[in-house]
Amino acid sequence: MKFYSTNNTSSRVSFKEAVFNSMPQDKGLYMPVTIPRLDDKFINNLDSYTLPEIAFHVAQNLLGDDIPADDLKTIINDAINFYAPIVKLEEDVYVLELFHGPSLAFKDFGARFMSRIMSYFLEEGEKQLDILVATSGDTGGAVALGFLGVPNTRVTILYPKGKVSDIQELQLTTNGQNIRALEIDGTFDDCQALVKQAFTDDELNAKYRLTSANSINIARLIPQTFYYFNAYAQALKQGKNKIVFSVPSGNFGNIGAGLLAWKMGLPVEQFIAATNANDTVPQFLKSGVYQPKPSVATLSNAMDVGNPSNWVRIADMFKDDMSQLNKLITGYSFDDEETTKAINAVYNHYKYVVCPHTAIAWQALKDYQQDVPTDEAAGIFLSTAHPCKFPDVFSDEIASHIDTPAQVKELHAKTKKSVALGKDFEAFKDYLLNNA
């Protein structure tokens, strides 16, 4: 499979080049030249396949012969070695639990797959791979664990000071080895801008082999399609074949993967883009005007993105018919007060605890089902992180019902190690050049 830049649709690069270069020099994002449609027999019988089998079939169709079948199976079986169940909360309301991986967040799908893809493509004697990643919370922890100890790689994580939870920060800053963390005095958008500028800096690129582990990297996007197909497979087993997905949305890689799955033939009725106060996309869906704005801090910090990178990919997927995009996606946004009410409502209704991002997805689904009462589709809202990562947002009663995994308890015994920097590029560049 060949890939092109969204800023130059006539360009062509291999999957390996797209993974290692991450972002084209023209500042676009890589997309597959063709999006294959999976055969109806596979789609209609998804419920007869396991998650690794689904992942292999989807990846093989997207990547073609870039990776031999046996090698691809090995990569997937190693990377996707945890489950992602849908849990029924009430009739036609299901939650897709994506927090059963090692970092307790949905980012484990992308980070683990990508780290193994990069390790597979790295050849003996090649220049060390320097991976730059901006995080608004969960990406950093997933990437850190995904790449920890991977030979010939070094990861530099940029995170916004005071804008990630304590547990998220510990996941970013306590790894050591080939993982280092930079605490940026700014927002996630500032962190993301620094990473993007580094990729187009001649001096840095001459000295280092730079790539990204953010969702701008196509190797992050592909494995996120797996859980959409798998969720649909589980719904089929429960007699549901009309599905609406409600997706907590920040940088829009998650819902972008869902739309890619739809393009590949997954019969989704509707996608709901659920955001916090950073509502650039919901406002666009209402007005038709795409107007990025500075991000604001919220309880759902991993979604604090005012200028989502992956919207470029989504717009590219629908460039031939933007009206189709407006029919397929509905946007909702909620402030912190509404988020807290949703957390409490989920607990009171189901005795189920959700993180603030997941609460927003649930509320968006419930609002959609109220707004479109004739829609007979079952709703699946995505739970993107374990609630234990956000202890400060819960009442004492709800907090007492959170089962904290052992790996989180172990984090508190570790020591934070990070370097504080401002948001100016020259200081970041100087750090990279003088900390080889």
Average pLDDT over residues 280-301: 91
CA atoms within 13 A on the CB side of 374: 0
Q: Is 107 a catalytic residue?
A: yes
One DSSP character per residue, 123-153 reads: -TTPPPEEEEEE-SSHHHHHHHHHHTT-TTE
CA–centroid distance for 412 within its chain: 25
| Cβ contact 348:327 at 8 Å | no
Integer-rounded Cα radius of gyration of the chain: 20
Residue reference for tokens 């107007």:
291
- What is the token pair recorded at 189? 């958008």
Task: List the catalytic residue out of 107, 161, 389, 423.
Answer: 107
The letter for the amino acid at 344 is: N
Per mean pLDDT, which range of 223-227, 284-288, 328-332 is the poorest?
A: 284-288
DSSP code at position 376 = -
Average pLDDT over residues 293-307: 90
Per mean pLDDT, which range of 45-49, 101-105, 337-341, 359-363 is the poorest?
A: 101-105
CATH class given for the domain over 80-102+219-406: alpha beta
- What is the token pair recorded at 75? 């990569």
Q: Can you state the percent helix, strand and coil of the chain, rounding each to 5? A: 45, 20, 35
pTM as predicted? 0.90
pLDDT of residue 247: 98
- What is the token pair recorded at 220? 């992050």
